[in-house]
Amino acid sequence: MLRAVRFAATLGLAVEPATRAAVAAEAPLAIHVSGERTFAELARLLAAERPSIGLRLAQETGLLAVIAPELARQRGIPQAKTPDEDLWDHTWRTVDAAAPALVDGLPLARMAALLHDVGKPATYADGHFVGHDTVGAELAAAWLDDLRAPRAFTTRVAGLVRHHMFAYTPEWTDAAIRRFIRRVGLADLDELLDLRAADNVGSGLPPNADGLDELRARCGAQVAAHVALERGDLAVDGDDLIRALALAPGPALGRLLDGLLERVLADPMINERGRLLAIARELAGGPGVGGSAGEGADGGAGTHLQEPRP
């Protein structure tokens, strides 16, 4: 049955009527297919030119409700985007618009597109889907774990689902752009921007809606400038801080490195060994680097220990 819907998408052929009727009648048996086999068939389906052919067939025959019940719940949920279409219509349109390229042999962008709104049915209330990105990331990870998907692939898909609801405006500062890249992760930055483009198309919008091209260009400029975006990009590391400040390894050291990274994200020009050691001494004097997350050395709220948002 899984191969039937996959062949429909990959070969561009219609399923013979009696076979289609048999799939609809026996769809509950798909619960007995191993997770590995289900994942393999879905991965091949998502690599098709138009995965929606197989996805819609799976939904119409009841197969989707067996292998991906959270996705099947999208049918009938209103989506104020394309007239006369529901959340499931938006999902398969987004999948078709996503990049078909394989990452390590798997359809990363297409799988993220399939799951990007998987949290909406569980969060639907009064026409809104508050927190569906967070809930969706958890549901996506749990489902892919059940299918025995590769761990790294699951982590990346869940991360894309978790971060797809960013709201860019031209007022973002360069520091906000750098924090955005850090939060998303440089490895998945292009995939996330591509996912948003596909989401726009699935919503009946141009792919570059909401300033996406501008955001892409600004992110590219920061990456090209080789600015520090993670701990490993700092001009000092944990060993430097241990020697210079007589610190012990542990969580406090990690918080101190995060504090330095936050300063460098705000001003890349201070990413020099001497300046960072001086700032580290300042930060180490506050309780926020010790056992608590209270005020920092400058009397502020210790924002250097928190992950900022644009």
- Looking at the predicted structure, is the pLDDT value of residue 101 above 50? yes
Which residues on adjacent β-strands are paired with residue 103? Answer: 106
- The average pLDDT across 34-61 equals 96
pLDDT for res 288: 42
| Percent of the chain with pLDDT strictly greater than 90 | 85
Which residues on adjacent β-strands are paired with residue 86? Answer: 78
pLDDT in tens, 133-152: 999 999 999 999 999 999 99
pTM for this prediction: 0.86
Domain ranges (residues) in the chain: 231-305
| Distances in whole angstroms, Cα of residue 59 to Cα of each of 42, 71, 95, 167 | 13, 9, 15, 31
- Tokens read off for 197: 């483009």
- Looking at the predicted structure, is the pLDDT value of residue 291 above 80? no
Q: What is the dihedral of CA 263, 267, 269, 274, to 10 degrees?
A: -20
pLDDT for res 84: 83
pLDDT for res 286: 54
| Distances in whole angstroms, Cα of residue 40 to Cα of each of 76, 107, 151, 202 | 28, 11, 15, 25
- How far, in Å, CA of 146 to CA of 157, rounded? 14
- Looking at the predicted structure, is the pLDDT value of residue 309 above 50? no
pLDDT for res 128: 83
- How far, in Å, CA of 300 to CA of 304, rounded? 9
- Looking at the predicted structure, is the pLDDT value of residue 226 above 70? yes
pLDDT for res 297: 31
pLDDT for res 6: 95
**Contacts of 232-237 spanning 24+ positions with Cβ under 8 A:** 233/261, 233/264, 233/271, 234/260, 234/261, 234/264, 234/271, 234/276, 235/271, 235/272, 235/273, 235/276, 236/260, 236/273, 236/276, 236/277, 236/280
pLDDT for res 284: 86
DSSP 225: T
